């Protein structure tokens, strides 16, 4: 049900789309003449007609138009539809921004759902006391971790143009004169022209440092200001309701994997990690200098007019003497003097000079000195917002900007220790030991204060690089602060020894030590990554066995009795299908949380979600709602994949909206409030049992196709653009681990990306229909599932993600891709199964949700998909046509290079249209 605000914003969306389309048509005419404009409009009109009428003759007409296209007109047609989709995305983002502004313009009785204001009101109206608010704020903790796999398919150059067009579109909402509207329209036309004349495709894979730069772009342009604003707004809203001012802890932080994630990426070295942190530091220090410059402009108070604290006066005198610098030319403008001294000290910090700030806390202390002094002569109920903002910036970002996680594969640690232990004559083949033998040996090594290695030892290149990585972690913590690197993540964790191996390597460089009196020093969290179905099932036992080790418990004690555990959505979904993966993830969280509670250990779950539905994607707030509520109180981490960064964090309004929804969701969930009272009792034993049965049926169905049909991999390779994706150059990591051709070693990203491009989206929905249908056939209890959908956030999010995947999938278009399968028997057998399962899954989802059509519960998203389809469809049909020719073309010929370029253009366009890559 749309509100008046939503309806007004929707009307404006259609207006913006038409407005941008009109300008695009002018650019197309200028760049390609009447021929290009007519061809694009004809195809666009036919595909829209096809979606409206389902007329097969129109379908044939579209295919004929596309088959007749030849280079260079064909390339321009591809680019026209891709540009059209990018402009649609910009219009849609402006729609979301406008909708938020409309809500804010209403009186206080009309509050946007999911806003911070709604969250604080919910707490107040449910009689949450100030004491309870303090406890709640102490529990509130959300860390979002940006990753580079895959990076955004769109080049950053293009994203900057998108941002400028978005700013102009927003400005047009406020323009009130004919002249200003004319200037804005002309400027947008200039930007679209530049967009058209710029290269969409990267000529080579980005380096890791280029990926670092791409990730930092969002910190520089948006997050550095949005995060302090959100904290500040929460403080102000609480003050308005409770008439008490809290200093809200810095509960919302961002981390990064870019430059630290070396799992399967040979381009990430120890030196890369250190250089990444240096780049972080350079940016954050330059941002602080800009912020303090702005404060210097603002705080012009004279000591002849106001009284300052003795502490501030002494601090100024001390700094002037130590730095041999006055700070400011007017002796009475004391705040400007202090800020000038702070700028001088920051300059020294950049140079690693001994007179620079030795820690971010020293800078925070200086800022609080100023705030305390200002409180003597400034109204207490309206503190200086800019100063509050700068304090919060330093508290959130420190001198490291974003905490860098380091990740590597468990097999790499095992191989390293096998070589080290053989060289020091402890065991000739560590990797061949039984698990109990490994654990006993590793504990003995950890308890022994003597090192295994020295600086004089020589090892293979891989082992030396591993040792250098741990030395770099220690150097980084010493140089940039403890928060620079806090966690070491272990991919494919399958046993306790996988974690102990990392502690041994940490011990060898001085990050971990057991002293003679039995006490422990540990400067690094060690986190398992559970990412296959079997690992998730074994996870509770692994954690219990780990917590039974006294030495490991001592490690946790000095780390605040906190154990971080990462859950992999991508590989578990690839391994067992989306429905089974989500259920196993949910169960593992509950079971492990219960075990940890028995040991008095807090758990922080790190959800390795992808941007796309097939890898656990979806709205940030929905991801939080679908977790067991008991797991939210110790803090949550979630990955923000490269391909969602621009859609969430390119524009300030959109970034703020996403983060406030997540904050509100966490606050109300931790406090135990929900609009549906029955949600507090979910899942019931009956609901859990039902979900378990559905999952078992779905897993059997999924694996019967993926792992047991001998023709499946042939179908996957030939009926999707999998093999063409590697040339897109969207990330520094290889598509497969160590160049392997095994399905198990194919990364989840190209797995999902390829299915998405072909409009089959199989990983995001396949086998769910069979699982649900078999349960209903066995029990006849459809009403139970309908009740679960209404009252259990996890089940509701699961079903709604199925709806979204089924809506984006299009089997008519997909059927064109299947024609590229060389064996007609394989093609028919597998695609028939996909079609049958699609129909069944759609039927089950509609029955459970009690809807007539998919996405009826989200009319805005449903309308968005409807409007996009006529723009995406031509790109799919052109892509099939091109790939068919490409696979027949002579190797390294001009024709092959030309066709490959055009295929990559279609991949970019389809990714923009479906709003995700992998």
d(CA 838, CA 832): 10
Q: Which three-class secondary structure state does DSSP give residue 483?
A: helix
Cβ contact 584:572 at 8 Å: yes
d(CA 132, CA 142): 19
d(CA 502, CA 508): 10
Q: Which three-class secondary structure state does DSSP give residue 487?
A: strand
DSSP letter for 32, please: H
What are the DSSP calls for 589-637, one per residue?
A: HHHHHHHHHHTT-EEEEEEE--SSGGGT-S-HHHHHHTS-GGGSTT-EE
d(CA 226, CA 209): 25
Minimal CA–CA distance to 799: which of 546, 578, 537?
A: 578
250: burial class by Cβ within 10 Å (0-12, 13-18, 19+)? middle
Q: Which helix (H) or strand (E) holds 830?
A: helix 824-849
d(CA 133, CA 114): 18
- Taken in order 615, 621, 624, 625, is the CA torsion positive or negative? negative
d(CA 666, CA 624): 7
* Residue of 39, 86, 149, 787 marked active site: 149
d(CA 360, CA 548): 38
296: its two tokens: 């210097």
Q: How many CA atoms lie within 13 A of 250 on its CB side?
A: 16
Q: What length is written for the chain? A: 918
* Residue of 574, 607, 701, 787 marked active site: 574
d(CA 23, CA 188): 8
Find how far residue 425's CA is from the centre of its chain. Answer: 45
Following CA atoms 469, 470, 471, 475 in sequence, which dihedral angle do they give, to the nearest 10 degrees? 100
d(CA 851, CA 271): 55
Looking at the DSSP bridge assignments, the partners of residue 746 are: 736
What Å distances lie between residue 580 and 384, 756, 916, CA to CA?
A: 52, 20, 22
Q: Which helix (H) or strand (E) holds 527?
A: strand 525-530
Residue 574 is among the residues annotated as catalytic for this protein:
yes
Minimal CA–CA distance to 883: which of 836, 819, 796?
A: 819
Q: Which three-class secondary structure state does DSSP give residue 402?
A: coil
Phi, psi torsion values for 635, nearest 5 degrees:
100, 150
425: its two tokens: 């004559």
CB under 8 Å to 407, separation ≥6 — which residues?
257, 260, 261, 262, 263, 488, 489, 490, 491, 529
**What is the set of active-site residues?**
149, 574
């Amino acid at each position: 049900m749309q509100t008046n605000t939503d309806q007004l914003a929707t009307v404006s969306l259609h207006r913006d789309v038409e407005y941008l389309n009109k300008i695009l048509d002018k650019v197309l005419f200028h760049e390609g003449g009447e021929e290009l404009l007519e061809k694009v409009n004809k195809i666009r009109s036919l595909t829209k007609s096809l979606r409206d009428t389902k007329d097969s003759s129109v379908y044939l007409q579209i295919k004929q138009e596309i088959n007749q296209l030849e280079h260079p007109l064909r390339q321009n047609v591809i680019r026209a539809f891709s540009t059209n989709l990018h402009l649609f995305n910009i219009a849609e983002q402006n729609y979301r921004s406008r909708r938020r502004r409309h809500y804010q313009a209403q009186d206080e009785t009309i509050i946007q759902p999911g806003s911070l204001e709604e969250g604080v009101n919910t707490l107040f109206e449910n009689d949450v006391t100030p004491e309870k608010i303090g406890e709640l704020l102490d529990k509130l903790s959300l860390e979002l971790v940006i990753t580079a796999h895959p990076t955004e398919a769109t080049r950053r150059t293009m994203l900057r143009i998108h941002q400028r067009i978005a700013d102009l579109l927003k400005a047009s909402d406020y323009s009130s004169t004919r002249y200003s509207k004319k200037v804005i329209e002309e400027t947008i036309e200039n930007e679209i022209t530049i967009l058209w004349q710029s290269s969409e495709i990267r000529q080579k894979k980005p380096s890791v440092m280029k990926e670092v730069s791409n990730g930092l772009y969002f910190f520089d342009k948006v997050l550095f200001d949005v995060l302090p604003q959100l904290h500040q707004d929460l403080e102000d809203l609480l003050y308005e309701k409770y008439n008490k001012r809290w200093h809200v802890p810095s509960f919302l932080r961002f981390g990064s994997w870019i430059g630290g994630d070396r799992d399967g990426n040979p381009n990430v070295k120890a030196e890369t990690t250190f250089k990444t942190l240096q780049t972080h530091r350079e940016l954050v220090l330059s941002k602080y200098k800009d912020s303090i410059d702005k404060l210097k402009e603002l705080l012009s108070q004279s000591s002849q007019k106001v009284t300052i604290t003795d502490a501030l006066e002494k601090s100024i005198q001390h700094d002037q003497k130590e730095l041999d610098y006055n700070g400011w030319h007017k002796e009475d403008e004391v705040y400007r003097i202090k800020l000038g001294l702070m700028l001088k000290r920051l300059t020294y910090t950049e140079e690693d000079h001994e007179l620079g700030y030795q820690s971010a806390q020293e800078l925070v202390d200086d800022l609080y000195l100023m705030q305390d002094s200002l409180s003597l002569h400034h109204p207490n109920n309206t503190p200086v917002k800019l100063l509050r903002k700068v304090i919060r910036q330093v508290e959130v970002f420190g001198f490291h900007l974003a905490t860098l996680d380091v990740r590597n594969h468990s097999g790499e640690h095992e191989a390293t220790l096998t070589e080290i232990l053989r060289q020091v004559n402890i065991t000739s083949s560590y990797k061949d030991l039984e698990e109990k033998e490994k654990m006993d040996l590793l504990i003995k090594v950890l308890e022994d204060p003597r090192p295994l290695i020295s600086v004089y030892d020589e090892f293979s290149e891989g082992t030396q690089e591993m040792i250098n990585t741990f030395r770099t972690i220690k150097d980084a913590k010493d140089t940039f602060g403890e928060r620079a690197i806090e966690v070491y993540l272990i991919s494919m964790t399958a046993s306790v020894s996988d974690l102990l191996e990392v502690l041994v390597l940490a011990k060898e460089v001085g990050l971990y030590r057991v002293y003679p009196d039995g006490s422990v020093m540990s400067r690094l969290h060690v986190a398992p990554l559970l990412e296959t179905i079997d690992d998730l099932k074994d996870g509770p036992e692994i954690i219990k066995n780990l917590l039974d080790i006294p030495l490991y418990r001592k490690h946790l004690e000095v780390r605040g009795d906190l154990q971080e555990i990462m859950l992999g959505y991508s590989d578990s979904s690839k391994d067992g299908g989306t429905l089974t993966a989500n259920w196993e993830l949910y169960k593992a969280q509950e079971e492990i949380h219960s075990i940890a509670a028995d040991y008095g250990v807090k758990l922080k779950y790190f959800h390795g979600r992808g941007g796309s539905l097939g890898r656990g994607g979806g709205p940030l707030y929905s991801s939080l709602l679908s977790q067991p509520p008991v797991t939210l109180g110790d803090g949550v981490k979630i990955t923000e994949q490269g391909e969602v960064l621009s859609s969430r964090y390119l524009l300030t309004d959109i970034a703020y909206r996403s983060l406030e929804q997540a904050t509100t969701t966490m606050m109300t969930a931790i406090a135990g409030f929900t609009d549906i009272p029955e949600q507090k009792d979910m899942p019931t034993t009956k609901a859990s049992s039902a979900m378990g049965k559905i999952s078992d049926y779905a897993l059997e169905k999924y694996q019967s196709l993926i792992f047991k049909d001998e023709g499946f991999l042939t179908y996957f390779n030939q009926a999707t653009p999998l093999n063409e994706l590697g040339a897109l150059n969207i990330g520094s990591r290889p598509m497969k681990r160590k160049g392997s051709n095994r399905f198990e070693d194919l990364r989840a990203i190209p797995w999902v990306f390829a299915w998405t491009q072909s409009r089959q989206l199989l990983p995001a929905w396949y086998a769910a229909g069979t699982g649900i249908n078999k349960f209903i056939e066995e029990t006849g209890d459809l009403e139970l599932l309908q009740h679960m959908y209404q009252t259990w956030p996890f089940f509701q999010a699961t079903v709604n993600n199925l709806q979204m995947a089924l809506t984006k999938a299009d089997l008519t278009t997909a059927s064109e891709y299947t024609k590229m399968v060389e064996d007609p028997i394989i093609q028919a057998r597998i695609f028939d199964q996909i079609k049958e399962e699609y129909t069944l899954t759609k039927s089950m989802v509609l029955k459970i949700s009690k809807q007539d059509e998919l996405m009826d519960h989200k009319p805005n998203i449903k309308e968005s998909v409807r409007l996009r389809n006529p723009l995406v469809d031509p790109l799919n049909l052109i892509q099939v046509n091109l790939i068919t020719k490409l696979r027949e073309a002579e190797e390294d010929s001009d024709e092959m290079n030309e066709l490959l370029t055009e295929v990559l253009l279609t991949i970019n366009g389809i990714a923009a249209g479906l709003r995700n890559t992998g």
